[in-house]
Amino acid sequence: MQTEIVIAGFGGQGVLFAGQLLAYAAMDNGLEVTWIPSYGPEMRGGTANCTVIISDEEIGSPIVRNPQVALVLNRPSLDKYEPLVKVGGLLVVNASLVDRSVGRRDIQVVMVPANEIAEQLGDRRVANMVMLGAMLANHPVLSVEAVVKAMEAHMLSRHRNLLPLNVAALQEGAKFLAGQLQSA
């Protein structure tokens, strides 16, 4: 069993951190995991993305053409990854920064106003956690609880005061459930 997850957005939206958190949770649950960033010049200000592969056996290729899951935090990332998600896969869209709907009907789609939710929670920087929560609620690879535990276990002590905010963001995101696929 292998799950490939792409997380994409602008630099500064926390896409690499969200992926690392997933990787920690996978490791703590005894799974194999590979986290790989795009590390080109685009890291500075442009788009950023990372791929997380979670598996119960030795992981082969660190990159995939068609991920099962994509979390897109802005419009360029939606345009890039909507066509690539595997049929039957999951696309989580940050509706706050995307001004169009999703065309595909052969994948599950979750539209999450992640920035607005993060701002309601008091810190726009946790939009990435809102997105991650929405993904976890719609895909069985890991539970929200597993990711909360990973955050508790691996968060630096000086950031510990941010834990409740991040947990709340995950839980708010997890309230967004995709509709059932019609034909699949």
Partner 1 sequence: MARELWKGNIAIAEAAVRAGLEAYFGYPITPQTELLEYLSMRMPELGRVFVQAESELGAINMVYGAACTGVRVMTSSSSPGISLMMEGLSYIAGTEVPVVLVDVMRGGPGLGNIAPAQGDYNQIVHGGGHGDYRPIVLAPSNIQEAIDLTMLAFDLAEAYRAIAVVLLDGSLGQMMEPAEMPPLRPLKSTYPDWAVRGAIGRERRVLSSIYLDPPLEEEANLRILRRWQQVEANEVRYKGYYLEDARFVVVGFGTAGRVALSAVRAARAEGIRVGLLRPITVSPFPSRVLRELADQVEGFLVVEMNTGQMLEDVLRAVEGRAPVEFFARLGGVMPLPEEVLDEIKRMASTPLSVDGHPRERWLQRMLQPA
Residue with tokens 């958190």, as numbered in its chain = 21
Of these, 17, 59, 123, 165, which contacts partner 1 (CB under 8 A)?
Answer: 59
Which alpha helices (DSSP H) does 5-67 contain, by range?
Answer: 15-28
Binding mask 18-47 for partner 1 (x = CB under 8 A): --x--xx--x----xxxxxx-xxx------
**Residue 17 Cβ vs partner 1, minimum distance, rounded to whole Å:** 12
Query: Nearest distance from residue 122's CB to partner 1, in Å?
Result: 29
Q: Are 139 and 108 in contact (CB under 8 A)?
A: no
Binding test (CB under 8 A) with partner 1, winner from 45, 46, 56, 61: 61
Q: How far is CA 125 from the centre of its chain?
A: 14
Q: How many CB atoms lie within 10 A of CB 182?
A: 7
Confirm or reject binding of residue 63 to partner 1 (CB under 8 A).
yes
CB 22 within 8 A of CB 5: yes
Residue among 40 and 45 whose Cβ is closer to partner 1? 40
Residue 107 beta carbon to partner 1: minimum distance, rounded to whole angstroms: 19
102 part of the interface to partner 1, by CB under 8 A: no
Contacts of 141 (CB under 8 A, 6+ apart): 3, 5, 26, 54, 69
Amino acid identity of 184? A
Give the residue with the Cβ less far from partner 1, 84 or 111: 84
Instruction: Give the x-and-dash track for 125-154 against partner 1 (CB under 8 A).
Output: -----------------------------x
Would you state the structure tokens that stand for residue 169, as one six-digit string? Answer: 């963001």
| Nearest partner of 134 among 108, 97, 160, judged by Cα | 108
Binding site for partner 1 (CB under 8 A): 20, 23-24, 27, 32-37, 39-41, 58-65, 154
